[in-house]
Amino acid sequence: MNRNRKILVTGGTGYIGSHVCVQLLEAGYDVVIADNLVNSGRDVVERIARITGRMPAFYETDLLNLESVRHIFREHRIDGVIHFAGLKAVGESVAQPLRYYSNNLTGTLHLLTAMQEEGCRVMVFSSSATVYGETNPVPFDESMPTAATNPYGYTKVAQERILTDIAAAQPDMSVLLLRYFNPVGAHPSGLIGEDPNGIPNNLMPYVAKVATGELPCIHVFGDDYDTPDGTGVRDYIHVCDLARGHIRALEYAFTHTGTDVFNLGTGHGSSVLELIRAFSEACGRELPYVIAPRRPGDIASCWADIHKAQDVLGFTAQATLADMCRDSWHFICCRKEEKI
Ligand code: NAD
Ligand code: UFG
């Protein structure tokens, strides 16, 4: 059935998008990637092909250029879109709000314009647990009110609104809003994963750079939160589990209309210290850390209520924190070997 379906993956050479492309190709879908490579490399296309034995079509396209988005829809009969393309660094969004609003919102509007013109009715969108804001109690469930605390978060809240309104006006359209918790880990092949340039903002890539010796020490942002060990608790989900959730969501979108929203997490929180311990086990040495002040804007705890994804999509994450650390470490080691 999937053999005849062609999926446009925006941001498909990025961290999450590349893992989803792998699983789409493995499931028999045809894949067209559109990415401007602002935060990824062209080599990822080749890596996806090495893993799957199938080559996706690739367009180096900026979604801000409406004509080039239209061009893709004219060259391919696109059955559905998975929309990952966007800027995602919270701190950068505070410093460069115009760039974030412009890139994330205009890019989405252009995509929707081209979809509407060509009669493409299925959209799966990358949203984030950040839309639960600061005041909801954990676990977060999909019916809770949304909020944001920074421009990046506002772009997610706004995109959810835009997509919901557009689907409401087009009764044959299907829009799924997927709220990711904390994606980590890498493909077990070691060929794709996340290896940000410079000093990472997020915990797992930071820990990985301490493990390689590129950074001297982990800074634990606060040990006085109202959590079991005082450090921040998050719902880390293996990127391959997350990708599987997209395949389920896409299958659901092809058989249902309207807008729906799903959390993609494990339903289980881990503390910063637990993650450091798990990574130390994975890399085989104790990783040094110091307790630092809280990071402004961080909440104590964030984990998903996963019942809806379980009941409606039949999706449950499988990987443990140990699996996530093992695969991240394997990827980083493969990356280092390639660079030598
Ligand atoms: P990523 O940066 O690795 O991938 C995003 C891709 O989009 C990159 O390859 C980048 O080059 C591309 N891109 C950005 N702007 C573009 C534009 N205007 N036109 C074309 N391509 C463009 O990020 P990721 O971690 O894979 O995240 C994918 C999506 O998931 C993003 O929308 C992000 O906000 C969302 N998300 C990520 C996380 C996370 O922790 N990684 C959590 C929640 C939600
Ligand atoms: N942390 C540290 N030291 C670090 C980095 C992080 O102690 O060097 C702590 C944070 O305080 C937090 C936890 O590790 O308690 C996780 O922090 P991350 O930066 O890895 O992840 P966040 O939960 O803060 O945010 C991420 C993305 C957001 C997204 C959110 C929910 O960065 O964009 O997950 O999906 F919105």
Mean pLDDT across the stretch 52-70? 98
By three-state DSSP, how is residue 244 classified? helix
Cβ–ligand 1 distance for 108 under 6 Å, the answer no
Cβ–ligand 2 distance for 128 under 6 Å, the answer yes
| Annotated catalytic residue 132 | no
By three-state DSSP, how is residue 131 classified? helix
Copy the structure tokens of residue 138. 């954990």
pLDDT at 2 over 80: no
Q: How are beta strands 233-234 and 301-302 bridged, if at all?
A: parallel
Question: Does residue 134 form part of some domain?
Answer: yes
Q: What CATH number did the domain enclosing 71 receive?
A: 3.40.50.720
For residues 130 and 208, membership in a common domain is answered with no
Are 210 and 217 in contact by the 8 Å Cβ rule? The answer is yes
Mean pLDDT across the stretch 55-83? 98
Mean pLDDT across the stretch 261-277? 98
Are 103 and 28 in contact by the 8 Å Cβ rule? The answer is no
Mean pLDDT across the stretch 230-251? 98
Q: 290: which strand partners?
A: 219
Question: Does residue 192 form part of some domain?
Answer: no
Q: Per residue in 91-129, is it b (16+ CB within 10 Å) or e — as a string?
A: ebbeeeeeebbebbbebbbbbbebbeeeebbbbbbbbbb
For residues 88 and 223, membership in a common domain is answered with no
For residues 224 and 168, membership in a common domain is answered with no
CA neighbours closer than 13 Å in the CB half-sphere of residue 206: 15
Q: Per residue in 231-253, is it b (16+ CB within 10 Å) or e — as a string?
A: bbbbbbbbbbbbbbbbbbbbebb
Closest CA to 302 of 268, 333, 276: 268
By three-state DSSP, how is residue 217 classified? coil
Question: Does residue 331 form part of some domain?
Answer: yes
For residues 23 and 82, membership in a common domain is answered with yes
Closest CA to 7 of 241, 247, 179, 243: 247
Mean pLDDT across the stretch 23-42? 98
Question: Does residue 96 form part of some domain?
Answer: yes
- Cβ burial of 226 (10 Å; 0-12, 13-18, 19+) is exposed
Which ligand neighbours the alpha carbon of 68 most closely? Answer: 1
Question: Does residue 193 form part of some domain?
Answer: no
For residues 156 and 216, membership in a common domain is answered with no
Residue from 178, 215, 295 whose mutation best tests the ligand 2 pocket (most atoms within 8 A of CB):
295
Cβ–ligand 1 distance for 37 under 6 Å, the answer yes
pLDDT at 270 over 70: yes
Q: What is the pLDDT of residue 282?
A: 98
Cβ–ligand 2 distance for 220 under 6 Å, the answer yes
Q: What CATH number did the domain enclosing 299 receive?
A: 3.90.25.10
Q: For residue 41, give its domain range.
A: 2-185+235-266+309-313
For residues 261 and 285, membership in a common domain is answered with no
Query: Which residue has its alpha carbon closest to ligand 2 atom 6?
Result: 203
Q: How far is the CA of 103 from the centre of ligand 2 (A)?
A: 22
Question: Does residue 194 form part of some domain?
Answer: no
Cβ–ligand 1 distance for 160 under 6 Å, the answer no
Question: Does residue 190 form part of some domain?
Answer: no
CA-based R_g, the chain, Å? 19
Q: What is the pLDDT of residue 283?
A: 98
pLDDT at 3 over 80: no
Q: How far is the CA of 202 from the centre of ligand 2 (A)?
A: 5
Q: How many domains are there within the chain? A: 2
For residues 152 and 277, membership in a common domain is answered with no
Question: Which ligand 1 atom is at minimum distance from the Cα of 152?
Answer: 34
pLDDT at 108 over 70: yes
Question: Does residue 297 form part of some domain?
Answer: yes
Query: Which residue has its alpha carbon closest to ligand 1 atom 6?
Result: 11
pLDDT at 1 over 90: no
The Cα 12–Cα 339 span in angstroms is: 23
* pLDDT one-digit tens code per residue, 119-155: 999 999 999 999 999 999 999 999 999 999 999 999 9
Q: What percent of the chain has pLDDT over 70?
A: 99
- Cβ burial of 275 (10 Å; 0-12, 13-18, 19+) is buried
Cβ–ligand 1 distance for 15 under 6 Å, the answer yes
- ∠303-309-315 over CA atoms, to 5°? 105
The kind and range of the H/E element at 335 are helix 321-339
Q: In which residue are the tokens 């010796």 written?
A: 213
For residues 215 and 227, membership in a common domain is answered with yes
For residues 115 and 211, membership in a common domain is answered with no
pTM above 0.95, yes or no: yes
User: Please, what is the average pLDDT of the chain?
Assistant: 97
Copy the structure tokens of residue 249. 């969501």
pLDDT at 18 over 70: yes
For residues 19 and 150, membership in a common domain is answered with yes
For residues 289 and 241, membership in a common domain is answered with no
* pLDDT one-digit tens code per residue, 245-258: 999 999 999 999 99
Query: Which residue has its alpha carbon closest to ligand 1 atom 28?
Result: 84
Cβ–ligand 1 distance for 205 under 6 Å, the answer no
Given the residues 152, 225, 236, 252, select the one marked as catalytic: 152
Q: How are beta strands 270-271 and 182-184 bridged, if at all?
A: unpaired
Mean pLDDT across the stretch 306-328? 98
For residues 40 and 163, membership in a common domain is answered with yes
